[in-house]
């Protein structure tokens, strides 16, 4: 089987020739190390300190108008796919993140109405901006916000994804995605306190807001399909380490109808669609199936998620992606620890198909060497039918 056949078989809950491997890596340090290239990242202090910092702050409107920041993010997606192919992944998650506008030399906003801090990675370079707070804390502020045009978003995403699909689509199974999901957008642009108040006092406003974000996500799904991509990742962190960020009842009542339409649209356009959510999402697994998603990622072990339990609950109804630990195993673990983690994941979820090996998330501390071991051991032990005893 090739990477497309292997990934499709797993998503269809069938047993491929070998367990596929999914990449969610998006860290600069790892991608440039894999490619053997000089890191072209921007040092954070260059845009925040001294004369260059002052000039960057003054030039923020011109930088936004030129589209430089978002173009750099788009270029980086090409590097990410090249690195994934070089590593031997079968499928790759591409996060479309050209959504930011620079406010000054320390903060940015996004198209939805959130405020971010510029932060550094472990090498002191500019990393993905870090969410700080919502700017649209009331319905009135949300209504007054200049909402992005779904048609323009579709056009931009289609252009980027079509280029990636033409360049790399025959060598790796590409899955598009849009920053961020309906729950994160609705709750974070208001901030959880404001969102909770509006949920109780003005539920019709929440429904209207969610329906608008649905139009953006549908535009993204259509863009990926128009570009010829075979898959899509719906990314929406709904969990804390201890459980869902809100009750399953609220998720179903306010978000369920939109998520069903998103999944149904993806299927109608010929896309497989999986859902990514960090945290302990045991209580949401049945909803994920009911909403129509084909697979689930990231299934964090540090949030108490066990692959065998996920397999027991939903493994006959959706493909399981995960769940190699990034906090220790892939960041500090020995070769034998990586081997044991891979073997356990295969034993817990790989039997009978419907499983795709993956780390739980992307993180600066993950070591390329450990990632290579994950891939090596999946190739060694993941040939089907599995023989792990």
Across 160-291, the runs of DSSP E, i.e. the strands, are: 173-177, 231-235, 272-277
Strands 319-324, 295-298: pairing kind: parallel
Q: Which of 299, 300, 231 is nearest to 263 (CA)?
A: 231
Residue 122's pLDDT band, with cuts at 50, 70 and 90, is: confident
Write out the H or E segment, with its range, that includes residue 66.
helix 50-66
Helix, strand, coil abundance in the chain, percent, nearest 5:
50, 15, 35
Helix (H) or strand (E) holding 198: helix 192-201
| Cα within 13 Å of Cα(79), Cβ side | 22
Residue 128's pLDDT band, with cuts at 50, 70 and 90, is: confident
Distance from chain centroid for Cα 216:
16
Query: Among 4-13, 68-77, 341-350, whose mean pLDDT is lowest?
Result: 68-77
**Per-residue pLDDT tens digits for 213-264:** 999 999 999 999 999 999 999 999 999 999 999 999 999 999 999 999 999 9
Closest CA to 213 of 248, 57, 205: 205
Euclidean distance between CA atoms 371 and 345, whole angstroms: 15
Helix (H) or strand (E) holding 133: strand 130-134
Instruction: Note the pLDDT tens digit of each residue in 167-209.
Output: 999 999 999 999 999 999 999 999 988 999 999 999 999 999 9
**Cβ atoms of 307 and 284 closer than 8 Å:** no
Banded pLDDT at 40 (limits 50, 70, 90): confident
Measured torsion, CA atoms of residues 175, 181, 184, 189, in degrees rounded to the nearest 10: 120
- The reported pLDDT for the residue numbered 72 is 86
User: Domains in the chain, ordered, with CATH?
Assistant: 3-99+134-381 (3.20.20.210)
pLDDT(91) > 90: yes
The residue with tokens 């202090």 is 45
Cα three-residue angle 318-320-326, rounded to 5 degrees: 155
* Residue 324 near residue 360 (C-beta atoms within 8 A): yes
Q: What is the DSSP letter of 18?
A: B
Question: Strand, coil or helix: what is 19?
Answer: coil
- pLDDT level of residue 68 (50, 70, 90 thresholds): confident
Over range 258-286, report the average pLDDT.
Answer: 98
What is the structure's pLDDT at 143? 95
**pLDDT grade, residue 65 (50/70/90)?**
very high
What pLDDT is recorded for position 42?
A: 87
* The model's pTM: 0.96
Average pLDDT, the chain: 95
SS3 235: strand
pLDDT band at 283 (very low <50, low <70, confident <90, very high): very high
310: three-class secondary structure by DSSP: helix
Nearest to 303 by CA among 282, 328, 276: 282
pLDDT, position 88: 98
Alpha helices in 227-348 (DSSP H): 248-250, 256-268, 285-291, 307-314, 335-345
pLDDT band for position 387 (50/70/90)? confident
Tokens of 249: 């009842």
pLDDT at 39: 75
Closest CA to 353 of 89, 18, 88, 93: 18
The pLDDT of 79-108, averaged and rounded, is 96
Integer Cα distance of 378 and 373 in angstroms: 8
Give the pLDDT confidence of 290-348 residue by residue, as tens digits. 999 999 999 999 999 999 999 999 999 999 998 999 999 999 999 999 999 999 999 99
389/178: higher pLDDT:
178
In angstroms, the CA 236 to CA 319 distance is: 17
State the pLDDT confidence band at 73, using cuts at 50, 70 and 90: confident
Task: Give me the torsion for CA of 72, 97, 29, 169, rounded to 10°.
Answer: -90
Residue 238: closest CA among 180, 317, 162 = 180
CA distance 326 to 166: 32
Find the farthest-apart pair of alpha carbons in the chain and give their distance in angstroms, rounded.
63
| 8-state DSSP, 2 | -
Is the link from the previous residue into 180 a cis peptide, with omega within 30 of 0?
Answer: yes
């Amino acid at each position: 089987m090739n990477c497309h056949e292997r990934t499709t078989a797993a998503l269809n809950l069938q047993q491929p020739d070998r367990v596929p491997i999914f990449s969610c890596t998006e860290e600069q340090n790892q991608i440039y190390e894999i490619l053997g290239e000089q890191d072209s990242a921007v040092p954070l202090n260059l845009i925040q300190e001294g004369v260059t910092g002052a000039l960057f702050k003054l030039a923020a409107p011109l930088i936004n108008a030129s589209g430089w920041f978002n173009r750099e993010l788009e270029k980086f997606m090409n590097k990410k796919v090249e690195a994934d192919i070089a590593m031997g992944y079968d499928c790759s998650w591409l996060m479309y993140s050209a959504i930011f506008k620079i406010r000054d030399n320390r903060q940015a906003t996004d198209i939805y109405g959130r405020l971010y801090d510029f932060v550094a990675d472990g090498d002191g370079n500019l990393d993905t901006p870090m969410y700080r707070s919502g700017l649209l804390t009331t319905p009135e502020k949300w209504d007054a916000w200049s909402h992005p045009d779904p048609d323009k978003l579709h056009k931009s995403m289609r252009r980027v994804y079509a280029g990636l699909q033409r360049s790399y689509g025959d060598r790796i199974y590409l899955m598009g995605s849009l920053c961020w999901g309906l729950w994160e957008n609705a709750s974070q642009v208001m901030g959880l306190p404001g969102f909770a108040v509006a949920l109780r006092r003005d539920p019709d406003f929440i429904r209207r807001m969610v329906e608008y974000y649905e139009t953006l996500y549908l535009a993204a799904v259509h863009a990926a399909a128009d570009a010829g991509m075979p898959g899509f990742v719906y990314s929406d962190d709904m969990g804390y380490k201890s459980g869902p960020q809100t009750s399953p009842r609220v998720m179903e009542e306010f978000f369920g109808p939109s998520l069903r339409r998103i999944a149904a649209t993806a299927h109608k356009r010929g896309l497989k669609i999986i859902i990514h959510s960090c945290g302990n999402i045991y209580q949401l697994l049945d909803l994920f199936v009911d909403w129509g998603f084909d697979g689930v990622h990231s299934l964090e072990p540090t949030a108490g998620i066990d692959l065998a339990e996920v397999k027991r609950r939903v493994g006959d109804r959706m493909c399981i992606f995960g769940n190699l630990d990034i906090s220790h195993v892939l960041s500090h673990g020995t070769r034998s620890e990586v081997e044991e983690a891979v073997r356990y994941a295969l034993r817990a979820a790989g039997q009978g198909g419907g499983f795709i090996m993956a780390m739980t998330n992307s993180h600066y501390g993950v070591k390329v060497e450990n990632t290579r071991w994950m891939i090596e051991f999946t190739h060694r032990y993941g040939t089907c039918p599995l023989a792990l005893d």
